[in-house]
DNA sequence: CGTCCTGCTGAAACCGGTTACATGAGACCG
DNA sequence: CGGTCTCATGTAACCGGTTTCAGCAGGACG
């Protein structure tokens, strides 16, 4: 509750001098410095950062806006961000959009009011409008995980297209010819990029593209469940499914289990996003592991570079590679010989 | 970048009037109100919350200090907190202590400087000192998940003692007589409370207490792994193990798998903390599920009650019940008849 | 001994809002 | 028609720091 003026009074100096001592500025005589330090200790003085921020116009706070902190992928990203931010003296504020563009806009507005120094954003939609405000207030933004149609913002993400390609090639290598993909909303880049990688993999193996095997819904347990339910009704049934995130995968697994479909005996399942080793024993799913922690870390570093150098430099896009981790959820399709691929030439590895 | 003065100038009114319009205060003529609103829109004016906070002495920010946001239990708590805070106009800042008391103290100090309105804290140790500062600055604190020796702070947590009791009774009910417990640091209440519940359950079944079967290490994968390794060397070997958190459990599972011990065939394993259904399919572990989301929610609500009523009311302690969810990791011990319990009377359910 | 420089110090402005209080116009009343 | 009250409005202080700039003391130098 004591202010810098209380300290100044007790020490018999000006607030200027106290301020200098607190901030370790040169040019204060040893005697006075000691007097001030004593007064600070005496009064249990804690400088008011809000006042400081008002003057300095920097809050040393960054905001992270993402869809759901509860998703282990984002949690890990969040941790990576915090591990960069706190040691530099920055506080980190989180907001969950739940994929709602309205929420996102509201949060961004609040954050602008609160004068955050920068924003790390997992964009919810594809619109440019939400970022106008940040731009006009000169608040640096780094997009995380996803990109948007505005091609001016820094981005840090995983190579979704290549990841999906690799996963589908993995399935093709096992002998699958009819592969479905279940993904999130159409206007989210990770959805479309992963479908693109899927399509390229099919093309590379000269497999036909069946639009009916591509399903868009939402990046959620419920979405995965719904999509798999409807995929199971397709004739002929695909022998493998690519899920584009962890929640979808577990929804898919649930639908498969309920339908009595054995994985991988009857159907293979591969997905994006691995779980940290702390969260499971003997993992089952074949995944494309994304370097989530590293994504968070690098995004934060990039943001701080912008903040600290005030760099109006060129737009930067960092794309990290993922890695296929083959596990028990993917195997050769049932009765390879008799399926729809009969007569096709062998697929190159 | 525009200030309230710019708006006032453009609208031809005083800053007072602009302030009133922005905050929806009564007593501004319709004509002026409209002029101001026009000017606000014209200038893309965004009020500076830092300035507002300086004057109002409230930052509408709460801080959450916990051991590791990466732990699904805490992640879920975090989500519960955010879902209460944001709708009320409060921002939420997170900090990870990694169970370091030094970190904790540093964070608390920063948060005091930043004038957060309140703190939700998962305490790292048992000392009183870190909270002196918060107290002297009149910043309300609610302890989450754990309690400390200072018996003056509000607390919201799960009933650890009863939870451990229930889990151990579950094991005893299955026929186990020799049960080990692997837990975190001795100075963390969830460790000691759960061991207390364990001891009471043994006593209630008149089973002997073997101190060698109680192991303290850390709430981590590595801790669980280490403790199980050393427990496997005990003769006669226990037939069941109680892990007191999810990380320990997975470390334990790993050690068991490496040692070729079948769960639950050779040894049963039960643990605190369930995983959200989005993160696994067909879960394996018998757990005591804690209402993590609800813990976070109620802790936040309690904090806001303190904030908004300025209530100097009595200390409040909210203890929520957990629930045993029996699954495949617990079963009857191997050859019940021939083991060390031979000759003991049947244990009451 | 006067001048200049260096180093320490504090007065006061400033950051951008909020708010206590004064003011003035007009309505109403006796 | 003077007095009182209400309502809308603005002036200026205030929140608690930082920062600019001027002043002053003391030493070096010519």
Per residue of chain B (349 residues), what is the pLDDT tens digit? 899 999 999 999 999 999 999 999 988 999 999 999 999 999 999 999 999 999 999 999 999 999 999 999 999 999 999 999 999 999 999 999 999 999 999 999 999 999 999 999 999 988 777 788 898 899 999 999 999 988 889 999 999 999 999 999 999 999 999 999 999 999 999 999 999 999 999 999 999 999 999 999 999 999 999 999 999 999 999 999 999 999 999 999 999 999 999 999 999 999 999 988 878 888 899 999 999 999 999 999 999 999 988 667 789 999 999 999 999 999 999 975 444 443 334 444 3
Record the tokens describing residue B80, joined without a space: 């519960």
Round to whole Å and give the CA distance between B89 and B40. Answer: 21
The answer to whether B273 and B295 have CB atoms below 8 angstroms apart is: no
To probe the interface with A, which of B58, B280, B284, B329 has the most A CB atoms within 10 Å?
B280
Closest nucleotide to A27, Cα to C1': C8
Record the tokens describing residue A257, joined without a space: 């289990």
CA of B115, C1' of C21: distance in angstroms:
29
- Assess whether pLDDT exceeds 70 at residue A337: no
**CATH 3.40.50.2300 occupies which residues in chain A?**
58-159+292-321, 160-290+325-338
**CATH 3.40.50.2300 occupies which residues in chain B?**
57-159+292-320, 160-289+325-338
B57-159+292-320 domain in CATH 3.40.50.2300?
yes
Closest CA to A79 of B70, B97, B111: B70
Cross-chain Cβ contact A281/B44 below 8 Å: no
- The architecture CATH gives domain B4-47: Orthogonal Bundle (1.10)
| pLDDT tens digits along A198-228 | 999 999 999 999 999 999 999 999 999 999 9
As a CATH number, domain A160-290+325-338 is: 3.40.50.2300
Quick check: B13 CB within 7 A of strand D? yes
Q: What is the pLDDT of residue A336?
A: 54
| A340 to chain B, closest Cα gap in Å | 30
The answer to whether B161 and B194 have CB atoms below 8 angstroms apart is: yes
Mean pLDDT in residue range A28-36: 94
Q: What is the pLDDT of residue A126?
A: 83
Cα–Cα separations (whole angstroms), residue B327 to A61, B72, B249, B285, B294 = 44, 19, 14, 6, 23
Band of residue A3 on the pLDDT scale cut at 50, 70, 90? very high
Band of residue A279 on the pLDDT scale cut at 50, 70, 90? confident
| pLDDT tens digits along A152-169 | 899 999 999 999 999 999
CA of A27, C1' of D28: distance in angstroms:
20
Give helix A15-22 / helix A30-43 axis angle, nearest 10°: 90
Q: How many CB pairs under 8 A join A and B?
A: 154
CA of B30, C1' of D6: distance in angstroms:
17
Band of residue A343 on the pLDDT scale cut at 50, 70, 90? very low
DSSP assignment string, A7-31: HHHHHTS-HHHHHHHHTT-S---HH
- Assess whether pLDDT exceeds 50 at residue A340: no
A329 vs B contacts (CB less than 8 Å): none
Residues with CB under 7 A from strand C: A 12-17, 26-29, 31-32, 51, 54-55, 57; B 3-5, 15-16, 19-20, 22-23, 45, 47-48, 51-52, 54-56
Q: What is the pLDDT of residue B343?
A: 38
Round to whole Å and give the CA distance between B210 and B172. Answer: 15
Q: Which residues pair with A93 in a beta bridge?
A: A63, B93
Q: Say if residue A264 is preceded by a cis peptide, omega within 30 of 0.
A: yes
Tracing tokens 């719904």 back to the chain, one arrives at A226
Q: Which residues of A277-307 are buried (b: 16+ CB within 10 A; e: fewer)?
A: ebbbbebbbbbbebbbbbbbbbbbbbbbbbb
Name residues 304-343 of chain B within 8 A of A (Cβ). Answer: none
- Assess whether pLDDT exceeds 50 at residue A344: no
Superfamily of chain region B160-289+325-338: Response regulator (3.40.50.2300)
As a CATH number, domain A58-159+292-321 is: 3.40.50.2300
CA of B335, C1' of C10: distance in angstroms:
86
Closest CA to A294 of A73, A69, A20, A70: A73
Q: What is the pLDDT of residue B311?
A: 63
Round to whole Å and give the CA distance between A194 and A182. Answer: 10
Closest protein CA to C1' of nucleotide C11, residue? A14
> Residue A272: enclosing H or E segment and its boundaries?
strand A268-272
Q: What is the pLDDT of residue B345?
A: 40
Closest CA to A130 of A160, A155, A97, A158: A97
Band of residue A277 on the pLDDT scale cut at 50, 70, 90? confident
Cross-chain Cβ contact A79/B96 below 8 Å: yes
Quick check: A15 CB within 7 A of strand D? yes
Residues counted in chain A: 349
pTM (2 decimals)? 0.93
- Assess whether pLDDT exceeds 90 at residue A331: yes
Tracing tokens 């009311």 back to the chain, one arrives at B313
Radius of gyration over alpha carbons of chain B, in Å?
26
Q: Which residues pair with A94 in a beta bridge?
A: A64
Q: What is the pLDDT of residue B348?
A: 42
Q: Which of A114-128, A288-302, B43-57, B197-211 has the lowest mean pLDDT?
A: A114-128
To probe the interface with B, which of A23, A88, A91, A119 has the most B CB atoms within 10 Å?
A91
The answer to whether A61 and A114 have CB atoms below 8 angstroms apart is: yes
A82 vs B contacts (CB less than 8 Å): 69, 94-96
**CATH 1.10.260.40 occupies which residues in chain B?**
4-47
The answer, for B59 touching chain A at a CB cutoff of 8 Å, is yes
| A246 to chain B, closest Cα gap in Å | 7
Q: Which residues of B319-337 are buried (b: 16+ CB within 10 A; e: fewer)?
A: eeebebeeeebbbbbeeee
């Amino acid at each position: 509750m004591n202010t810098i003026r209380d300290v100044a009074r007790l020490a018999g100096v000006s607030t200027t001098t106290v301020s200098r001592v607190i901030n370790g500025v040169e040019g204060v005589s040893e005697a006075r410095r000691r007097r001030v330090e004593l007064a600070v200790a005496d009064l249990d003085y804690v400088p008011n950062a809000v006042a400081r921020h008002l003057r300095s116009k920097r809050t040393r706070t960054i905001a992270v806006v993402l869809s759901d902190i509860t998703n282990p992928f984002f949690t890990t990203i969040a941790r990576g961000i915090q591990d960069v931010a706190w040691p530099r003296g920055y506080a980190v504020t989180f907001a969950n959009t739940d994929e709602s563009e309205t929420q996102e806009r509201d949060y961004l507005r609040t954050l602008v009011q609160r004068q955050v120094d920068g924003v790390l954003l997992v964009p919810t939609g594809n619109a440019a409008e939400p970022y106008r405000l940040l731009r006009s207030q000169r608040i640096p933004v780094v997009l995380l995980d996803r990109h948007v149609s505005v091609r001016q913002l820094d981005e840090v993400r995983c190579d979704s297209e290549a990841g999906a390609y690799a996963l589908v090639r993995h399935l093709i290598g096992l002998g699958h010819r009819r592969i479905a993909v279940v993904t999130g909303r159409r206007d989210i880049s990770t959805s479309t990029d992963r479908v693109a990688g899927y399509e390229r993999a099919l093309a590379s193996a000269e497999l036909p593209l069946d639009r009916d095997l591509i399903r868009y819904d939402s990046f959620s347990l419920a979405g995965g469940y719904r999509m798999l339910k409807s995929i199971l009704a397709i004739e002929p049934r695909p022998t493998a499914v690519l899920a584009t995130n962890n929640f979808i995968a577990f929804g898919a697994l649930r639908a498969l289990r309920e339908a009595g479909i054995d994985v991988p005996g009857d159907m293979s399942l591969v997905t994006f996003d691995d779980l940290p080793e702390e969260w499971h024993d003997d993992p089952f799913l074949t995944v494309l592991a994304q370097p989530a922690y590293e994504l968070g870390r690098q995004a934060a570093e990039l943001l701080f570079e912008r903040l600290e150098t005030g760099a109006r430099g060129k737009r930067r896009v960092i794309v990290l590679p993922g890695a296929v981790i083959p596990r028990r959820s993917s195997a050769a399709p049932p009765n390879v010989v008799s399926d729809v691929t009969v007569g096709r030439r062998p697929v190159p590895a």
